Chains A and B, each alone.
Chain A
């Protein structure tokens, strides 16, 4: 392998060639890493970083989160100050009162945003494949500006995720929407959201090579608990990254969006899709 000559025509043969090429690549990368990695140095660095992280997490808990809230001038996250939208109920009797917002969403449909709905808000995006169902595990990966495994005492009941992406435009950032919908057992959703909140302190001090995040106003979203943030992805192309984590009862919805345009556009897109996503998830909570 490694000659670079690939078989044309038959797709299966071509993919078998790719498999072999990838296997060879993997072997060479492992061999190279084994020869080059300084294990003792890596161990020492990990221990040093663990100490720093322990101090940061300690500081980020409790009062430090409050301090961060004050520093950014808007609440990082808050409990809902408004009346709760009604939860969907199976076979509810007709009511004379106006239909709740849930009723606009299809209880039998997928908990994820419909493809067409996403494409209306972020033009040109399409799903990368079928939605991916998550397994019941005690660890789930997630977060606001950093994705990390989160251990919750009450595990995930079920989860599903999808990515929509626009066609690449050369070197330009690609519009992307990633959605995760999760339902936890017991108090798991609250635990998960709390971990996300604590982890969000990292958004304020990102790695050197990235811009820092700013928090969006949570009153622009309707959910029991919300945290939302944005950052400049590429000043050259006016591209932004946004992230939202919303919790309503046992349901947690996360959106990670990359979109070109100005900041107002990015935030409008995010707020619109986030609200639609939460409503869709809640409307289908019992049915998937």
Chain B
């Protein structure tokens, strides 16, 4: 199984038509005049979307993102000058979500990927997919969310998670395989 990323998206990895690669060359370091407010305008929604997917309780997403943005603001000049603000913010968000999971501890109740109550369509499937995603081990969950919600490519995810790109690829492949098994099993049960 080849995991395709934003940089080499092919027929298995549909272009979302919305410039999924939000971590564009935003030029923070080149343009010191671009401030924290502009950063929040550009990236706030993606951070919220990412937090919604990573956390079991989407209501907590706004709270976590505001906390992460506060951390970014406190270190803004250093982060802008020495790091990449998007990478730093996403790394802080993934860490915050990891902490949240540690405190909350365990996946949602319910069957292991049971399809939600006979509903049909994208919403039901998204709910099933989200539940299965949130049941993955933390690294797999983070890698797949970063690739799909934040639209990061393999190298960007590697930067965020402080690992090598080939490690990201391995984690993504294991995560996709696990999701595939869970969803196939749910579909079997739905048919039975």
Whether chain B is bound by chain A comes out as yes
Q: Given A6-B184, A30-B149, does the pair A37, B45 have CB atoms closer than 8 Å?
A: yes
A133 contacts B by Cβ under 8 Å: yes
Segment 1-55 of B: residues with Cβ below 8 Å from A:
1, 3-4, 12-14, 16-18, 20, 22, 37, 40-41, 44-46, 48-49, 52-53
A148 touches B71 (CB 8 A): yes
Which of the listed residues A17, A31, A132, A174 has the most CB atoms from chain B within 10 Å of its own CB? Answer: A132
Contact with B99, one of A12, A48, A145 (Cβ below 8 angstroms):
A145
Q: Is the CB of B137 within 8 A of A2?
A: no
Instruction: Report the Cα distance A239→B183, complex, angstroms.
Output: 29
| B88 close to A27 (CB less than 8 A) | no
Please indicate the chain B residues that have their CB under 8 angstroms from the CB of A71 in the complex. none
Instruction: For B148, list chain A residues within 8 Å (CB).
Output: 22-23, 25-26
Q: Is the CB of A132 within 8 A of B167?
A: yes
> Which residues of A sit under 8 angstroms from B103, Cβ to Cβ?
145, 206-207, 209-210, 231, 233, 241
Q: From A4, A8, A19, give the contact of B120 (CB < 8 A).
A: A4
Q: Mark B102-144, 1 if CB is under 8 A from A, else 0.
A: 1111110100100100001110111011100101011110001
Q: Which chain A residue shows the least CB distance to B82?
A: A138
Q: How far is the CA of A4 from the CA of B73 in the complex (A)?
A: 41
Contact A16 B12 (CB under 8 A): yes
B74: interface (CB < 8 Å): yes
Tell me the interface secondary structure of chain A in the complex.
Answer: mixed
Residues of A within 8 A of B150 (CB): 26
Complex Cα spacing A118 to B138, Å: 19
Report the Cα distance A27→B129, complex, angstroms.
14
User: Interface digits, A23-48 against B, CB 8 Å rule (1 contact, 0 not)?
Assistant: 11111111111101101001101111
Contact B180 A11 (CB under 8 A): yes
Give B183's nearest chain A residue, CB to CB.
A6
| CB pair A139 B88 closer than 8 Å | yes
User: B66: which of A42, A139, A209, A231 is its contact (CB, 8 Å)?
Assistant: A42
Do residues B95 and A5 form an inter-chain contact, with CB atoms below 8 A? no
Q: Is residue A173 contacting chain B, with contact meaning CB distance below 8 A?
A: yes
A46 and B66 form a contact (CB under 8 A): yes
Contact A147 B98 (CB under 8 A): yes
Please tell me if A90 contacts chain B, counting CB pairs below 8 Å: no
Given A2-B122, A19-B12: A29 and B40 interface contact (C-beta under 8 Å): no
Residue of B nearest to A8 (CB): B184
Cross-chain contact B135 with A168 (CB below 8 angstroms): yes
**For B48, what are the chain A residues with a Cβ–Cβ distance below 8 Å?**
33, 36-37, 42
Question: Does A146 interact with chain B (Cβ within 8 Å)?
Answer: yes
**Given A46-B66, A206-B103, A134 contacting B163 (CB threshold 8 A):** yes
Q: A20 to B74, alpha carbons, bound, how many Å?
A: 38
Contacts of A138 in B (CB 8 A): 82-83
Contact call A33/B46, Cβ cutoff below 8 A? yes
Contact partner of A2 (CB less than 8 A), chosen from B66, B126, B149, is: B126
Known contacts A29-B52, A30-B149, A148-B95; is-contact A46 B180 (Cβ 8 Å): no
Residues of A within 8 A of B147 (CB): 22, 26
- Look across to chain B and name the residue whose beta carbon is closest to the beta carbon of A231: B103
User: Distance in Å from the Cβ of B112 to the closest Cβ of chain A?
Assistant: 7
Task: List, in ascending order, chain B residues with CB within 8 A of A233's CB.
Answer: 103, 105
Interchain CB contact under 8 A, A141 and B91 = yes
Contact A128 B187, CB 8 Å, known A27-B18, A147-B98: no
Which residue of chain B has its CB nearest to the CB of A150?
A: B95
C-alpha spacing A30/B40, complex, angstroms: 15
Knowing A1-B122, A15-B176, A30-B45, the reply to whether A21 touches B129 (Cβ < 8 A) is yes
A-B CB proximity, top 7 nearest: A2-B122, A26-B148, A46-B69, A49-B70, A4-B125, A33-B49, A147-B95
Subset of 27 A-B contacts with CB under 8 Å: A4-B120, A4-B125, A15-B177, A16-B1, A17-B180, A18-B180, A21-B125, A25-B53, A25-B130, A26-B148, A30-B46, A30-B151, A33-B45, A33-B48, A33-B49, A42-B62, A43-B44, A48-B70, A128-B137, A129-B171, A132-B139, A135-B162, A135-B163, A138-B82, A143-B95, A173-B106, A174-B105
With A139-B88, A163-B137, A174-B105 known, 19 other A-B pairs at CB within 8 A are A2-B121, A4-B124, A4-B128, A22-B133, A22-B179, A26-B53, A26-B149, A28-B126, A42-B40, A43-B40, A43-B69, A139-B91, A147-B95, A149-B88, A168-B112, A168-B135, A170-B109, A173-B105, A206-B103
